[in-house]
Amino acid sequence: MTLAELKTEVEKLRFTAPPTVRSELLDRHRIRASEIVYWLGTIAVFFVFPQYLAFAATVLTTALFVMSLDLILGFAGIISLGHALYYGFAAYVVGLVSHAGWVEPISQTLLGGASGAVLAAITGPIVLRLTGLPLIVVTLALGVLAYEAANSMTWLTGGDDGLGGIQIAPVFGIFRWTIFSETGYLYVLAWFFLMFVLARRLVASPFDVVLQGIRENRRRMALVGTPVLRHLVLIYVISGFMAGIAGALTTQTTKFVALAVLGLDTSVAGVVMLVLGGVGRLYGGLIGAPIYMIVHHIASQWNPYHWMFIIGGLLVLVVVFANGGVLGIADGVLRRISRGKGAPP
């Protein structure tokens, strides 16, 4: 190659635009068409299935609880088997303040979120110093202790009989809570969307990038000067706030607080729903919760004694044959479709 030709090639490289870097972290702030379809679907439920609005409201509150779990498990790597502690604690707080005469729903919901956040702020600095199996055992123990405390304090919580007789004022003083849950569903959907927007902004921020670095290598992040415990406690408190909102909504829509809100089954079911939908995807809980609850509803009607076989079989199939849950399956299908369209005729 002559000197002139070499100079020409250098000039071409100088003025050629660098390739666009694609990153899932950088793209998380972008709204996708599938997201719009999901939220339009939640609105359509109100009109298409009016006879199932009570069940649909329960699905949304459960999905919110699972999304709060995803923030700590999927994005920060905090494995917890006691996340129902914050959900159930807020549910009881709202039920008790209702008995005391505080029946305004919006302030009740905020109180439930605040109670979950405060409890997480108290337990977080202690629990989050641990990792691995000790962390799992301590979170499990805290949940069991809370369950047994609520079960023994029958004078306050109703024990195994639950806490009933809860009254909630109309929303904005206008929209009454009906037996068909029209107001309840829309009220839960509004809070559900607000919490999702908060979570979405969070996972698209530099804060989440730090959390994922801690999840991948906690010791290395500490060596580069990252305040690891402070970041973990902060996301734990935010997660506790969202779980508290979910617990408050559960009390308001059902007008009852069952002891099971603090049970191990609630925490384990949350993990199962998250794995089913896809851990660390934000929409994993939003997809996994309805799938789990709908399959549970249908299977328990078909066989009330052995419905867990169906749930277990579904979970095994998803975990073994799908990388990333149901959302992982959907991503794989879309990739194959896109490759097929891009293939030469």
For CA atoms 226, 229, 234, 236, give the dihedral sign.
positive
How far, in Å, CA of 29 to CA of 311, rounded? 33
| Whether 75 contacts 81, CB under 8 Å | no
The pLDDT, as a whole number, for residue 89 is 97
pLDDT in the model for residue 10: 41
pTM of the model: 0.88
Q: Print the SS3 string covering the chain.
A: CCHHHHHHHHHHHHHCCCCCCCCHHHHCCCCCHHHHHHHHHHHHHHHHCHHHHHHHHHHHHHHHHHHHHHHHHCCCCCCCCCCHHHHHHHHHHHHHHHHCCCCCHHHHHHHHHHHHHHHHHHHHHHHCCCCHHHHHHHHHHHHHHHHHHHHHCHHHHCHHHCECCCCCCCECCCECCCCCCHHHHHHHHHHHHHHHHHHHHHHCCHHHHHHHHHHHCHHHHHHCCCCHHHHHHHHHHHHHHHHHHHHHHHHHHHCCECHHHHCHHHHHHHHHHHHHHCCCCCHHHHHHHHHHHHHHHHHHHHCCCCHHHHHHHHHHHHHHHCCCHHHHHHHHHHHHHHHHHHCCC
pLDDT of residue 340: 67
C-alpha 280/C-alpha 202 separation (Å) is 13
Mean pLDDT by 10 residues, the chain (345 residues): 52 44 52 84 94 94 96 92 96 96 95 97 94 93 95 93 92 87 94 95 89 90 91 96 97 94 93 90 90 87 77 80 77 74 53
Cα–Cα dist 288/277, whole Å = 4
| pLDDT at residue 18 in the model | 44
Model pLDDT, residue 318: 79
What pLDDT is stored for residue 21 in this prediction? 39
Q: Would you state the pLDDT for residue 19?
A: 43
| Exposure class string for 69-92: b at 16+ Cβ within 10 A, else e | bbbbbbbbbbebbbbbbbbbbbbb
Looking at residue 79, its amino acid is I
